[in-house]
Amino acid sequence: MDGTRYETWHELHRRWEAGEAVGLATVVSTFGSAPRPPGSAMLVTPDGQSAGSVSGGCVEGAVYDLARQVVQDGTAVLERYGVSDDDAAAVGLTCGGTIEVLVERVDRETFPELGALLGRMRAGTAVALATVLDGEGADGHGDGGEGGSGGRRLVCWADGTAGGTGRPDLDERIAAAARRLLARGRSGTVRPAGGPRVFVNCLVPPPRMLVYGAGEFGAALVRQGVLLGYRVTLCDARPAFTVPERFPEADEVVVDWPHRHLAGQVAAGRTDPRTVVVSLTHDPKFEIPLLRTALRVELAYVGALGSRRTVERRAAALRAAGLGDEQLSRLNSPVGLDLGGTDPAETAVSIAAEIVLLRHGGRGARLSDTTGPIHAEGREAALDAALESVRERGREPVRGVVGTAS
């Protein structure tokens, strides 16, 4: 989950604890070049403030007004905005996509499960929020039919649940579908075994970026990591340089030998396949032990700064330290994309661009030089949701996975 979504949910919880009623708008499906993925959220507070985003600006005004209305009348609304609709064109969704937005009132009565949800999030647990979108119970007041059942939300994590629809059999099917999506970190809509249409919002802790090297390049990369939604740690073994005041954006500043710090993070279970490690130390006595540790762990990205000559010397030293070709192939060095810049800020942008490129499988080409759809991730997310529905429904046609609500 990106940092913006994380902050939005914490602000929602703060208002919830204060007893306020807040309008929460959540993107539940997208099609085409939609600007924000499923799970993107915006809240509107009683004093008229807003936080988060559902469209990057395209339909924020219309959703804002709808959220204020929903807070007043208490009736959840599932609204669709797309360029094929006259109303959608009027509110400005001109980017070529369609988004479906669930707008609901959130307070202690309508969302009693929020405390359990935020408790898990604060503990660093990946958690899924499953919300019934159609059928009886979609408004939170169903009478026990197959579509609803008296409740509309189920909070689900690896070994437990909170809330529920009131139907244990339906809850089991929803939980199974939610955990499959949670394992992939993908939010999307499902229809478990012919039951109601359900949106599963996967809320996972922000990925981590571990930056080793307390210099100007490290400070610049910390800023980029924060902008990309990472929880960023800056680590260096030199106390004189590794002071929090030099890295105000970092979530954590640590004085330790880089390889010892990383080994401790791995042993404590604080790294995962989304974690990014970048070495900016320039010093073999720090760098070689660090990279030897990093390249033996399943991480999203391992990069190291250096010239071509440094890269050759580093590779030889790592081979001498026992690393093989497969492990060395995972090292991105010289780090970053060739953007032509050389100063710390430009180098940090180059590194961040390479991380984004590899994370999303991009081509690295200028968009103005290409044709076809821009947002490949949107197509993949829609396909994932469709495949999930096929798995749940067997050979039945897929209905209501993306696009207009049922």
The CA-to-CA distance between both ends of the chain, in Å, stands at: 27
Dist CA 36 CA 20 (whole Å): 27
Select from 72, 190, 63 the least CA-distant residue to 134: 190
Dist CA 402 CA 189 (whole Å): 8
DSSP 246: G
Residue 4 sits at φ, ψ, to 5 deg, of -65, -45
pLDDT digits (tens), the chain, 406 positions? 555 677 889 899 999 999 999 999 999 998 766 667 899 999 999 889 999 888 766 688 889 999 999 999 999 999 988 644 444 445 444 455 788 999 999 999 999 999 999 999 888 889 999 999 986 445 544 433 333 334 789 999 988 999 999 999 999 999 999 999 988 888 999 998 878 999 999 998 889 999 999 999 999 999 999 999 899 999 999 999 999 999 999 999 999 999 999 999 999 989 999 999 999 998 999 999 999 999 999 999 999 999 999 999 999 999 999 999 999 999 999 999 999 999 999 999 999 999 999 988 888 888 888 876 666 554 455 445 555 554 544 433 222 222 223 2
Q: pLDDT value at position 380?
A: 53
Are 84 and 9 contacting, i.e. CB atoms less than 8 angstroms apart? no
pTM as predicted: 0.71
Q: pLDDT value at position 371?
A: 76
Q: Which domains, ranges and CATH numbers included, belong to the chain?
A: 1-111 (no CATH), 113-205+368-392 (no CATH), 208-360 (3.40.50.720)
Q: Is the dihedral of CA 49, 53, 54, 57 positive or negative?
A: positive
